[in-house]
Structure 1
Amino acid sequence: MEKRPVGINDLFETKSVTNPVLSPNDEEAVVVVTEMNKEDNEYYSAIHHIDLRTQNVTQWTFGKQKVSVPKWSADGKMLAFLSNRTEKNQLYVLQTAGGEARQLTECKNGVGSFEWAPSGQKIWFSGSLKTGETFVSKEEAKKEFPQPVRVTKMKYKADGAGILPQDEFAQIGCVDLATCSVTNFTSEPCDHSLEAVSHDGEQLVVGVNRKENDDQDFSSPLILIDTATKEETVLVDEQGYFGDVYFSKDDRYIAYVGADLTFKNATQAEVFVYDQANGLTMNLTTGIDAPVGDDSISDHLQQAVAPGVVWTEDEQLYFQLSVMGDVRLYAATLDGAIYPATGEDEHVHGYDVASNGEFALLTVSTATHPGELYLQTIATGERTALTTFNENWLKKVQPVAPQAVQYMSGATEVHGWLLKPADYEEGKQYPLIVEIHGGPHAMYGNTYFHELQVLAANGYGVLYVNPRGSHGYSQVFVDGVRGDYGVGDYEDIMAGLDEVLAQESWIDSDRLGVTGGSYGGFMTNWIVGHTNRFKAAVTQRSISNWISFFGVSDIGYYFSDWQLNADMRDADTLWKHSPLKYAKQIDTPLLILHSENDFRCPIEQAEQLFITLKDLGKVAEFVRFPQSDHNLSRTGKPNLRVARLKEIIGWFERYL
């Protein structure tokens, strides 16, 4: 059977295989499989069980719901998970021997996270409560009228959440499995994150910032708490993000992942280990000039949850590392030895490691494969596929394989990829679209990206590169964009275009398009305001005016300072880096796509740009997406994701 190119509606054909978790005896595992339902316009997921001895795969949960973060009890007889089957995420548990899942919580605002107690008789969890409220308190249902919201802090809203409740905080509670009775463990009027439970059950690690006004405070202190006495030991308390905490098998060591603010939000994440025996902390990854974790972007993966680290019995630690477009599994020992455990040219977006360190479970995607679950022997690298959820789709569809691109932009080496059109024929010429990622501190990688494949399927070449500011190429490289927006990064992107035009005769230099979202939207706006080389552009969830962004974005008041080294005390610098300033120079037909409920790059950014361009007599159109936030292209309503792709293809068809 002749294979066809990737189509827009293949969004509904591919499945996202994520979050592999081994059972305590390392003989079983579960994964979460998510798919988009066209009829219901929703995302549904299910837990699948794998017997590693027989490699039999069995679906364990069913129904029109989302499930997430499955975790085994210490004896392996129960599996707990979160599900929105009653609208908000609640905690469920099922017997692994069989039977229906049982709901454990009825938290008014849902459950945020959870961890098993080692006894298997209770589960710790977190959820939001009003001050003075308990997890078991119930309010009578009553008709509620809209009320004004008094705002006293700058951190009062968040993309995806909207206006934040002013008198609610994340608290930690505990539910007894036998009785379903719930008790509160914390009650202070500040947010608590449940990070880890020791294997003996006597200690919790909790993240909590007790500062009354945290508008300019970006610390996330980690506190070790004795569950009986509530005595506290501070693990880390400095500006930056620290979390993903895991106890070693004997509870002596506590590993966590974090990054300080030396380079603001461009600081690469590291693995730290705290030794309870002597109170000392070591940085295990200080010798690696790459970020710990998964910084690769994709529009296919759903609920791609991976542990920050995994301990083995011999006190080795495994973790993800983002490097040169790959996300690889690495291992480290406490004496400082570090080595890669997986190869190149792929995206390891989920993993777990056997207690004895002999094998790992991996969920892996590549540029031409949406991903499956694999078992890999650590010593030999031998790999066996355990699932085939996307096998039938790949029998009828042929994604385009990218070719790597590497070039010099001045003195800076830049890396990227080039997709040829799916219908490519030698001797013909084709239009080219330059795609620019968001962040800017993220990276394009060797992973399946539906949007890029759809563009190639519609007869376009696609160039996507990692300019300065991207992760995976060194601390200097990722920091290189800060204070330099629209300069070095612009040069890197244009140098990549020049490189492929010089090397690839099939590209029609008179039919060039450019698009990107978030920071990529900013850069799209910037590019068309500084060159007329592109015949069409699509800007998505973009920034056009840094002055207004400062006050309307949920992160604007600090992100502007971190990225541009300027705030409202230096409006001239904000305006200098604003694409809106250069609107008179925009002659490229520009399609503006934006979500109504985007609090990260609010829709007023698009409104300003559109009205200004129309007032100047420019060619521009504006499409607004209802009920959508900043993540429309990744987690938005399925029908709106389809509509967005059709808008992009339609605009380029019209002008290229």
Structure 2
Amino acid sequence: MTQSVQAQDLFNLKSITQPVVAGDRIFFVENGVDQASNGYRSVVRGVSGGEAWTAGSVGEQNTQPAVAGQHLYFAAKVGQAKPQLFTTSLNGGEALAVTVLMPEQAVSTVLASGDQQTIFFKTTETTEQPKFLNAEDFPQTRHVSRLINKADGHGWLPHQVTYRVWRYRPETDQLREVLSQGTDFDLTSTSADGRWLTVIQDVQPDDDRDFTRHAYCLDTATREWTDLTSGLKGQVADATISADGRRALIVGNDGSHGLHTVANVYLANRETGELVNQTASLDADPVPEFAADFTQNPSGKLAQWLDGQRFVFTAAFHGRSQLYVGDGGQVRLLSDQPREIVDFAVIDDDAVVLAVSAQDRPSLLVRHTLSEGNEHILVNPNATYEDTHEYAHPQHFTFEATDGQDLEGWYLPAQTTAKKTPVLLYVHGGPHANYGETFFYEFQVHASRGYGVVFFNPRGSTSYGQAYQDAVIGHYGEHDYRDVMSGLDVALAKFSELDADRQYIAGGSYGGFMTTWAVGHTARFAAAVAQRSVTNWISLFGTSDIGFYFNPDELAGDLFDEGGVSEYWQRSPLAYAQNVTTPIRLLHGEWDMRCPISQSEEFFTAVKRHGVDADMIRYPQSFHGVSRDGLPSLRVQRLDDMTAWFDAHPSVQK
């Protein structure tokens, strides 16, 4: 007898990311969650000829596989020590620490040159702690002097820190420092011979109001820098140098629509400075923002070279991933299946390996042939689980908003024999993200507990082009609110098993904004659960790690502009708290730096003062991403907290 997905299955399901190719072997990271330690685990595995094996498993987290010669290199975190560089045979076996003399430096990105003669890796060195210990008899103070002084998911940013790039030559066991600086950067690629590196960093790292990020090429022989994207005024997300070091693939935006500008793929010439947009006519986003909760440790690689001329990249389009090949200024669609391409790597000039996910298939590693478009599965990390479990299967549908705008949504039916089921409207965060064809563990659990889940991409979502994304700017709570409500109405009419007397709403971050906004504007829901919400734009401006620049960009005006306070207040769910009658539970992480917990506290105080059936649950040691990468025990607890609230409110209060 098959079972549905239970909350405890968080500890059984696995995902695949970070594939790399070495001849006939493919290495990848297999991610899972360990219940005993209440932590996340990842191992490096290999597959060849249908056989898979564990190649790198030293500590709790083993990531960033790279191959040089006959050895695998990877970063591993063992116990409380900082991640270090390890190496082992390609067939697995005992692993040795390469950076045993560098315990004060944390290893992150690991890259191998195309000739497999050199390993590059990045380290971060600081003695400052991102979060103070909770029980210190003689605590220290923290000095804050910059606008950007904290980052959600990390904590407080250090004042004294050194970021380095190291070059390691396995043949001679030589380790040499290539780059050292006090400002952060992303190390993204190396040329075949290891001479050229691509680095992404802020153009004005000392200016906390300038968010321009460029891609640079570093000549490791001369230490000379070349700005590959001097013509762009926006943000670069990825850069990949060609094998000969002459050109680079750039994924980034020109900043023409502020911080929410849709990206393109560019071709940069290191020698001439030419920068040519390769995707100007493409109505898809090569920097995907899928709203989901399952995948861990994606590589972040967005475009890669196939050969000296052609390249491949992925892009999000209408809630799914597309695979493209580019050649001489032309791009051609290769794959348009209903799924997310989480990660990928080039096998040869006619094949790539894809780590993919679908709403009813958590994770697969597949080989895709470009010329024929055929695929075969290399690894299914959940094959044994799927022998005894059945996922809820989505139903996709389109509909028109009240003003005629075409919209898209999905329905995940409850796994029950009941003739009528409650309906849960779930709103994604962002707002510049998109629901789509990828596995959502939480939605599967809600369906297994008897709730039909409906979810939509309202205006403001990504993967539908710039105009669609722009529609929410300065208009929060307008079309976006009507879009999700129209979708709910359509779902109720389309799927007869959904019970109109048992409607619920939930969402996190921007979805929490929409949940608290909705209950201030309608009484149709039997209950609501608002998570890590934005409820007061005025207070968020100065307390969020991004508030001082996110708010003006999204609300189309600064708090201190004439009329700014009034505009921010009118866009705040807190302004309508006196209208709320819907029972509401607020969930929030105590370490949240993106939407600080005070946002929920303010709303809770307001509605509770008016006699609303409301409560609030505080999740300790939890950042904004508690539902995606928070403490596993609290992720499971959070789902139980939601179900308990909905079950306790079986119908709309009359």
Q: For this structure pair, what is the TM-score category when the shorter chain's length is used for normalisation? A: over 0.9
Bigger CA drift: 221-230 or 9-18?
221-230
Matched, 1:340 2:337: no
1:361 aligns with one of 334, 345, 353? 353
Matched, 1:66 2:65: no
Shift of 1:144: 11
CA distance in 1, matches of 2:484, 2:203: 43
Retained in 1: the 8 A contact 2:55–2:93? no
Retained in 1: the 8 A contact 2:527–2:584? yes
Q: Which amino acid aligns with 2:396?
A: A
Shift of 1:504: 2.4
Matched, 1:307 2:301: yes
User: Match of 1:491?
Assistant: 482
Equivalent residues in 2 for 1:455-474, closer than 5 Å: 455-474=446-465
CA distance in 1, matches of 2:609, 2:162: 46
User: Match of 2:363?
Assistant: 371
Matched, 1:241 2:263: no
Say which SS state the counterpart of residue 605 (structure 1) adopts: helix
Equivalent residues in 2 for 1:5-24, closer than 5 Å: 5-23=4-22
User: Match of 2:75?
Assistant: 82
User: Match of 1:568?
Assistant: 559
CA distance in 2, matches of 1:144, 1:236: 50
Bigger CA drift: 550-559 or 439-448?
439-448
Shift of 1:178: 6.6
Shift of 1:175: 4.2
Retained in 2: the 8 A contact 1:172–1:192? no
Matched, 1:476 2:467: yes
2:531 aligns with one of 502, 527, 540? 540
CA separation of 1:382 and 1:121: change in aligned 2, threshold 3 A: closer
Q: Which amino acid aligns with 1:158?
A: A
Q: Which amino acid aligns with 2:453?
A: V
CA distance in 1, matches of 2:371, 2:112: 31
1:325 aligns with one of 319, 325, 339? 319
Runs of 4+ residues over 4 Å off in structure 1: 117-122, 175-183
User: Match of 1:123?
Assistant: 119
Shift of 1:538: 0.2
CA distance in 2, matches of 1:63, 1:562: 44
Matched, 1:530 2:529: no
CA distance in 2, matches of 1:597, 1:464: 28
Matched, 1:293 2:287: yes
Per-residue CA deviations over 1:377-436 (Å, capped at 9, x if unaligned) read: 2222222111232112112111111111211111311101012211145xx222101000
CA distance in 2, matches of 1:43, 1:241: 30
Bigger CA drift: 634-643 or 234-243?
234-243
Retained in 2: the 8 A contact 1:172–1:193? no
Equivalent residues in 2 for 1:573-588, closer than 5 Å: 573-588=567-582
Say which SS state the counterpart of residue 235 (structure 2) adopts: strand
Matched, 1:432 2:406: no
Say which SS state the counterpart of residue 432 (structure 1) adopts: strand
Q: Which amino acid aligns with 1:350?
A: D
CA distance in 2, matches of 1:302, 1:104: 25
Shift of 1:221: 2.5
Bigger CA drift: 402-411 or 199-208?
199-208
Matched, 1:402 2:394: yes
User: Match of 2:27?
Assistant: 30
Shift of 1:556: 0.4
How many pairs are equivalent? 635
User: Match of 1:112?
Assistant: 108
Shift of 1:272: 1.0
Retained in 1: the 8 A contact 2:54–2:92? no
Shift of 1:212: 6.0
Retained in 1: the 8 A contact 2:237–2:287? no
Say which SS state the counterpart of residue 342 (structure 2) adopts: strand
Per-residue CA deviations over 1:164-196 (Å, capped at 9, x if unaligned) read: 112224333334547866544334443333232
Equivalent residues in 2 for 1:209-288, closer than 5 Å: 209=202, 211=204, 213-237=206-230, 238-288=232-282
Equivalent residues in 2 for 1:443-454, closer than 5 Å: 443-454=434-445
Matched, 1:150 2:149: no
CA separation of 1:366 and 1:206: change in aligned 2, threshold 3 A: closer
TM-score by length of 2: 0.93
Bigger CA drift: 543-552 or 209-218?
209-218
Matched, 1:351 2:344: yes
Q: Which amino acid aligns with 2:29?
A: V
Say which SS state the counterpart of residue 112 (structure 1) adopts: strand
Say which SS state the counterpart of residue 568 (structure 1) adopts: coil
User: Match of 2:36?
Assistant: 39
CA distance in 2, matches of 1:191, 1:388: 36
Say which SS state the counterpart of residue 588 (structure 1) adopts: coil
Retained in 2: the 8 A contact 1:171–1:192? no
CA separation of 1:473 and 1:300: change in aligned 2, threshold 3 A: same
Retained in 1: the 8 A contact 2:56–2:92? no
Say which SS state the counterpart of residue 179 (structure 2) adopts: coil
User: Match of 1:137?
Assistant: none
User: Match of 1:638?
Assistant: 632
User: Match of 2:52?
Assistant: 57
Retained in 2: the 8 A contact 1:306–1:351? no
TM-score by length of 1: 0.93
Q: Which amino acid aligns with 2:255?
A: L
CA separation of 1:175 and 1:494: change in aligned 2, threshold 3 A: same
Retained in 2: the 8 A contact 1:257–1:269? yes
Retained in 1: the 8 A contact 2:422–2:500? yes
Query: RMSD of aligned C-alpha atoms?
Result: 2.1
CA separation of 1:144 and 1:116: change in aligned 2, threshold 3 A: farther
User: Match of 2:381?
Assistant: 389
Shift of 1:326: 0.7
